[in-house]
Amino acid sequence: MIERNCNSFPLIRKIMPYTLKDVAALAGVSIATASRVINGKPGVKPATRTKILDVARELNYLPDQLAKGMKTKRTNTIGLVVADITNPFYSYTAKIIEMKARAHNYTVIVGNTNNNSTIEHDIITNLRERKVDGFIFASVELHDKPVRQLIQSGAPCITYHRHLEGYQGNFIGSDESEGVSLATQHLYDLGHRRIGFISGPRIFSTGRERLRSFLETSRTFAIESPDYLIKEGGYEITKTRTCVNEILSLPEPPTAIFAANDLMALQVLDCVLEAGYRVPDDISIVGYDDIAIASHHSIQLTTVNVHAKQCAELVIETLINIIEGLRPAGEHTKTLLKPELKVRESTAKPRK
Amino acid sequence: MIERNCNSFPLIRKIMPYTLKDVAALAGVSIATASRVINGKPGVKPATRTKILDVARELNYLPDQLAKGMKTKRTNTIGLVVADITNPFYSYTAKIIEMKARAHNYTVIVGNTNNNSTIEHDIITNLRERKVDGFIFASVELHDKPVRQLIQSGAPCITYHRHLEGYQGNFIGSDESEGVSLATQHLYDLGHRRIGFISGPRIFSTGRERLRSFLETSRTFAIESPDYLIKEGGYEITKTRTCVNEILSLPEPPTAIFAANDLMALQVLDCVLEAGYRVPDDISIVGYDDIAIASHHSIQLTTVNVHAKQCAELVIETLINIIEGLRPAGEHTKTLLKPELKVRESTAKPRK
DNA sequence: CTGAAAGCGCTTACAG
DNA sequence: CTGAAAGCGCTTACAG
């Protein structure tokens, strides 16, 4: 391979990447023509085209996307902001988004907010400075100021999983009411009348809506749901465990516990087993999301599948359509996928 | 907030971001001075500085990192290439890398290779076009051509978890020999003399070395390890399950199975339980990596902890040092962390 | 302490 | 079908 050295310090021999100028010079054409060929534009004599392509291959020419982005105002980059990539729901959807984006020639920059709004703000600023073409958020709070502003600025933007108050902007997610209702009814049908509920933080739509739906469904079925059976958990492990232990130490513990997501349900399972209860014999457990480990033979968690794959695919496809103007800019989409109850071994009839 | 509209199409009212030129004009100074202030460079009269900063804040000015990168030849971007972000080991290390990078003002672009070398090559090309300042690979094959070339080109680059043949370039990982030896000896000490081994693909250093160390240790302890007890698994779920089922259907199945990573061990556990065996009563199981779920109460997998957090921290710190020239460019580092055996409930004495 | 000017590597009308 | 030139938004010697 022919090398191009740093001409200001020829002795350092730091290899400088070839530019279009090099390609053009070696092919004996102008930069404009070389640019046309590299970008597959029409109107170039076949012989010229071949020559340029040959030189480019020879030099192993790679176009500088910074320079290109500066001119075209498009970077083919998408920012993906998630709460925590170690949560299987996020890593799974992030992977699908990344791969589908790549297939459409987009690159994804991932940011973890850790559910911290200051970090989220920093991430957004950084993504804007990098001129990403669009944003995906799986991390929004209901009253997420930075994301609202971003949407108002007209930037291509879509939220999934968690949405903004009033479903502002584009959103693709799951029908939380229906999912929770299905799971609650399942417990009711098995005979449970005292159910503990560990909710997620209510600043997130998922936390608020899953709790709300649980309370509504409980009322419909006349299931007891006194305050002391309802706990607001958090995404830190200890928080959930504290909630469970409080519930278990009640004079009359519930016969079932519904956790607002699978990761929390896994903690609930852990706690309940450690406290010496059997699952589902003594206590039934239900989760939400249907992450991969939920179906593992040793776990067998009854949970609600939210069609994460389909959701992620829709998200990236929709965003790319918005970016490429294939969809009216002002028009917002709100898609709710129907969730599906997965009944496994963690739920059973309560003991009499 | 003051808005700046697209002047070529004033009616479209697409908001154009402010530039240094706008800041300079409004502050009544030259672009050069504005640039100095924005970048915190010395040699500007305090009053001028204040004025510029005020205007920048007023306009909500965000520097264009594409333009900046073009001039400075630094993008403050790092490419992170992993095999599969849904594998907890990768998502955990990716998260740490991303967060530590952000703390040092670097942004991370993540690529999933899916263990496919063509995809890896595409990802590298893309990262090079985007002028990343450095590369991190957790995905290399032993004879990984594109990564070798990258290293030879002098680009700041570091591998972790999996390494190149002969530990080419910079590498931070775990001492596989020791880890496997610890786990094998643990099984030996419990009394196991027939042990099945499900290895990872041997094109990866982890796959090759864990297998090699298992065979060596077996020989040392005179543990039986006939070919039919050694299977090369893959990262697809079905592959592992096929291996396990083959082992279980032997006339005399082993009393323990050692899987080359926890994700595979989880599949082994699943299969073994489904086949009606009890763990560890009938069959002991050992994994490798110590992912979070391994310590779950329902899983309790005996495994080898590889200090993922420390590894990830070292990786990103080392790379940033290389990028910023705080470390001699030609000097390669090879760090092996001491792994630690975590004995849990999935291993016990074999039944007589 | 400040500014004019060159230039990073591209794309894109425009002219021929 | 091809090229000269302007310009994207910055930084950085250099001159004053």
Instruction: Tell me the nearest-neighbour CA distance from B85 into chain A, angstroms.
Output: 6
Both tokens assigned to B111: 């690529």
Give chain B positions within 8 Å (CB) of A109. 107-110
For strand C, the positions having any atom within 7 A of a protein Cβ are: 1-5, 7-13
Distances (CA, A) of B146 to A234, A320, B118: 43, 30, 10
Choosing among A78, A99, A240, A297, which should be mutated to test the B contact, i.e. which has the most B CBs within 10 A? A297
pLDDT at position A15: 72
For A70 and C10, how far is CA from C1' in angstroms?
8
Asked if strand C comes closer than 7 Å to A63 Cβ, the answer is: yes
Give the model confidence (pLDDT) of B29-63 as tens digits: 999 999 999 999 988 999 999 999 999 999 999 99
Q: Which amino acid, residue B202?
A: R
Q: Which of B7, B80, B85, B127 to mutate to test the interface with A (most CBs of A within 10 A)?
A: B85
Question: Quick one: which residue's CA is nearest to D7's C1'?
Answer: A71
Q: For the segment A109-135, what is each residue's pLDDT rounded down to a tens digit?
A: 999 999 999 999 999 999 999 999 999
Burial of A209 (0-12, 13-18, 19+ CB in 10 A): buried
- Considering only CA atoms, which residue is closest to the C1' of nucleotide C11? A71
Would you say B192 and B284 are in contact if contact means Cβ atoms under 8 Å apart? yes
- Nucleic strand C under 7 Å from the C-beta of B99: no
- Using a 10 angstrom Cβ sphere, with 0-12 exposed, 13-18 middle and 19 or more buried, the burial of residue A218 is buried
Q: Which residue has the closest alpha carbon to C2 C1'?
A: B33
d(CA B302, CA B279): 11
Q: CA-CA distance, A151 to A170, in Å (whole number)?
A: 9
Cα angle, residue B7 at apex, residues B4 and B12 outer, rounded to 5°:
85
- Beta strand pairing call for B77-82 and B107-112: parallel
Residues on chain B touching A100 (C-beta within 8 angstroms):
none
Beta bridge partners, B110, equal B80
Q: What are B158's two structure tokens?
A: 């570091």
pLDDT tens, position by position, B239-270: 899 999 999 999 999 999 999 999 999 999 99
Instruction: Of A146-150, A153-157, B184-188, B226-230, give the lowest mean pLDDT range.
Output: B226-230
The closest of A298, A273, A266 to B269, measured between CA atoms, is A298
**Do residue A128 and residue B84 have CB atoms under 8 angstroms apart?**
no
My answer on whether omega of the bond before B339 falls inside 30° of 0, hence cis, is no
Q: Is the pLDDT of residue B223 over 90?
A: no
CB of B45 nearer than 7 A to strand C: yes
Facing residue for A85 by CB, picked from B14, B95, B270: B95
Measured CA to CA, the distance from residue B149 to residue B172 in angstroms comes to 19
pLDDT for B14 equals: 56
Q: In angstroms, what CA-CA distances link B254 with A27, B175, B219?
A: 66, 26, 16
- Per-residue pLDDT, averaged over A57-69, amounts to 96
**Distance to chain A for B27, nearest Cα, Å:** 21
What span, in angstroms and rounded, lies between the C-alpha atoms of A260 and B325?
48
pLDDT at A225: 78
Show Cβ contacts of residue B99 under 8 Å, excluding neighbours closer than 6 positions: A112, A114
Residue B348 has pLDDT above 50, yes or no: yes
Q: Is the pLDDT reported for residue B8 higher than 60?
A: no
**pLDDT-derived band at A14, boundaries 50, 70, 90:** low
Mean pLDDT to the nearest integer, A196-207: 94
